Structure 1
């Protein structure tokens, strides 16, 4: 209970409690947090390195995978290191500006992640439904433009969230029962009327998730229809195999996010620490699993990764061969 009696030493700061009710277990909770974070960094950096080095992988699908990896690294880095500082060093203070910035970066990352999955669905649609025009429709320059559109959409939709809250007066008791600055929790710290901010946040989630899931569903509807027109069963399997990794990433990302959002908004009977752990899982699991899924399911990428791993594990053999 002592943690709940804390008061910010500076009126322009908040206090992040971490996981309320489990403060005594913070060190133990930090173990999976740090393991997941390190694993996500290693996996995504490996993908970026391999795709960057291999000219044969400079294709739309792999460039989109690079965008996904960069987004995952940036989003998890915006919240996990601070959470670990809370767990290890009891460093709970965060400025109001830092809190709003963290909130902005986390939500931009989530929106960007969703937009990239939509673009990947479009990539698979073109590859299967218009294979002869694939290289002309999805050029590397067009992929760069689509990535920029995804980023601009995320910034424009999310920017009003911290701006609206920055205009609000915050109460004296600025204790946030969370590991990071979640919009809903920070809004509750305000002494003013946050109806507009809360409604905008809810509408933004519905618009982003609703539109993105609809576009993904439409893409796969056309993909399934095109595949079913093919008479060869082997061609069926080959076509669906090209979509397996993307479908797995979708099944990893969206259910966790939707379940966490719904329980946070409407699951008042659920214990607070369950809300917080679920919210963190969305930023912990996908960055770890996405590189693994694509590494396993994509043969060309898997072979290149194995080549670099084997060269790193046996540098002496590699040097003898090169000599």
Structure 2
């Protein structure tokens, strides 16, 4: 087969759904709007309230920013392709999406590992927590998670974009690095080595570290007081839920990329490929917003303040100076 550098790629999983096209577009758009709204709300709550300027909430703020970043690298292009009859994407835009999505995944898992370390220190070493988890160290850990994701994905995209390809058809609804590598005719040894190292560092190492920290937390809870157990349950439950969900979703994506799934129904393949990137950005703000009492209380206050302000604007007296003007407001 002749190899070449293709100027565009075809996303072959899209198919004509006729009259359901508009309904599918509205559903995906609503999902994206919910992700943006939920994450932006919690980012504002954390940034505005000084009582939340603590390491745990700063890590959460970084996590919510990453959810916005990852979903914005996925949904706009999907919305365009749902309404479009042509499902091709230019090579630069395809590799840009690969960079965004893989960087999102790497930053997400490293951030979850850093958050487990934060909970480990808070529960196992509460007296030394403020010394060990200072503001400067919190900033360094957040910056390190993002810097790692950016560097790893830059190297990955550089290696993949230099490959000679024998085709340009990707059997997904978005651009995926492994799908591009499978089209290569040139030597992919360097890409495979980098991919293996990246998986071990980005998934394997954080998972082992998270398991270790939770083992230590469990030992402290078994031997500790009722107050310690309550603190562990309240702060660790949302984090553990997020870790388990993201790990399962990552395994779905890895298995689908490494094994032949052509015998699987198309809709199921689309769901499994989108599950990793589409569900986590909405799950995290819901889980943390509902389980952490501080965030839940401040969210309610913020929404109530906005609602009362809007009500006051609607009930403002007219410009005429009539003394008997009455304002009706439903509660």
> What TM-score do the two structures reach when normalised by structure 1?
0.87
SS of the residue corresponding to residue 128 of structure 2 reads helix
RMSD, aligned α-carbons: 2.3
Distance change >3 Å, CA 198–CA 26, structure 1 → 2:
farther
Q: Does 1:255 align with 2:261?
A: no
> Aligned match of 1:210 in 158, 181, 204?
204
> Aligned match of 1:244 in 218, 233, 237?
237
Aligned-residue offset at 1:317: 6.0
> Aligned match of 1:275 in 269, 291, 306?
269
Distance 1:91 1:76 in 2: 22
SS of the residue corresponding to residue 187 of structure 2 reads coil
- Give the structure 1 partner of residue 163 of structure 2: 168
Task: Specify the structure having the higher radius of gyration (Cα).
Answer: 2
Q: Deviations over 1:149-196 (max 9, x none)?
A: 11222223222221112211233x423222211012112333323343
Distance 2:195 2:210 in 1: 22
Distance change >3 Å, CA 207–CA 311, structure 1 → 2:
same
Q: Does 1:47 align with 2:42?
A: yes
Q: Which runs of 5+ in 1 are unaligned?
A: 1-9
Aligned-residue offset at 1:318: 6.8
Q: Deviations over 1:182-237 (max 9, x none)?
A: 0121123333233432453244223321101000001111111111121x334422
Distance 2:35 2:154 in 1: 27
Tell whether the 8 Å contact from 2:172 to 2:273 is kept in structure 1 after alignment. no
Q: Deviations over 1:262-306 (max 9, x none)?
A: 133125343454333212111111111111111111001110000
Q: Does 1:185 align with 2:179?
A: yes
Aligned-residue offset at 1:35: 2.1
> Aligned match of 1:14 in 9, 15, 27?
9
Return 198-207 or 133-142, whichever deviates more.
198-207
Distance change >3 Å, CA 130–CA 213, structure 1 → 2:
same
Distance 1:275 1:199 in 2: 27
Distance 1:55 1:16 in 2: 46
Distance 2:310 2:14 in 1: 51
Number of equivalences: 308
Q: Which runs of 5+ in 2 are unaligned?
A: 315-331
Distance change >3 Å, CA 247–CA 22, structure 1 → 2:
farther
Q: Deviations over 1:1-42 (max 9, x none)?
A: xxxxxxxxx95122224x345655554443432222111100
> What TM-score do the two structures reach when normalised by structure 2?
0.86
Q: Does 1:66 align with 2:67?
A: no
The structure carrying a bigger helix percent of its residues is: 1
SS of the residue corresponding to residue 14 of structure 1 reads strand
